Amino acid sequence: MTVVTRWWWIRHDKVDNPERRLYGQSDIKAITDDPAPYSRLAPSLPSDAVWLSSHLSRTKDTAAALKPHMEALGHAAPDPLAHADLAEQDFGAWQGLNIQDLKTRLGKDFDILWRDPGGAEPPGGESFAQVIERVGRAVTHFSAEHAGRDIVAFAHGGSIRAALAVALKLEPSAALSFQIRNLSLTRIDHLVPGDPPTMGLRNPWQVHQVNQLHPDDD
């Protein structure tokens, strides 16, 4: 029998960033003061799941805001296990800059970044290709550790795109085309075939939904 481990990826709630700066691994808080989207999200999630988050506050804030809505449904809502490999991209020296700042700082080199955003490595930071590698390590590890379970992962736009890149074997720049909105739900299943293996099962990943918003959240 095929063992299915279901990943329920949730991007953290909004943050205060009116100038649209690259906040990356800056540890800023999520704004979780509106309970309505959490009450709409909770019924879509499994009742008995492992909860994970990145080590950054905004994912932990989001999990804490969802917790009472899960408990109101009689669902388990454990404190998430924080893991740094689920974090957003580290933009290094570019952290805190917006696009105009980057253009000014990089000059003619900005065109190189624009042509290959998935491979560009900020000074003192990491490329999106490297994010895919570390998120891939995390999902492989936790899929084995919690095989057959549901895993709710509170993460970031970058790390969720990275998980999709792993599942679909995408080039880094292609994976950056996914839109992942705050409090959206993306579900990716990891499958381990039994003996005999399921016919046609070549890729151990199946993508069920991406950037799913809930009624009234759009």
pLDDT digits (tens, 9 = 90+) for 179-198: 999 999 999 999 987 655 55
Which CATH entry fits the domain spanning 3-212: 3.40.50.1240, 3.20.19.10, 1.10.260.40, 3.40.50.10780? Answer: 3.40.50.1240
pLDDT tens, residue by residue, 129-169 = 999 999 999 999 999 999 999 999 999 999 999 999 999 99
- pTM as predicted: 0.92
More confident residue, 162 or 118: 162
pLDDT category of residue 120 using cuts at 50, 70 and 90: confident
Split at pLDDT 50, 70, 90, the class of 216 is: low
Nearest to 174 by CA among 129, 136, 209: 129
The per-residue pLDDT for 192 is 87
Rounded to an integer, the average pLDDT of 108-115 is: 76
3-state DSSP assignment of residue 43 = helix
Mean per-residue pLDDT over the chain, rounded: 92
Residue 196, preceding bond cis, omega within 30 degrees? yes
Residue 63: closest CA among 51, 49, 55, 47? 51
- pLDDT > 90? residue 107: no
User: Exposed (0-12), middle (13-18) or buried (19+): which is 212, by Cβ within 10 Å?
Assistant: middle
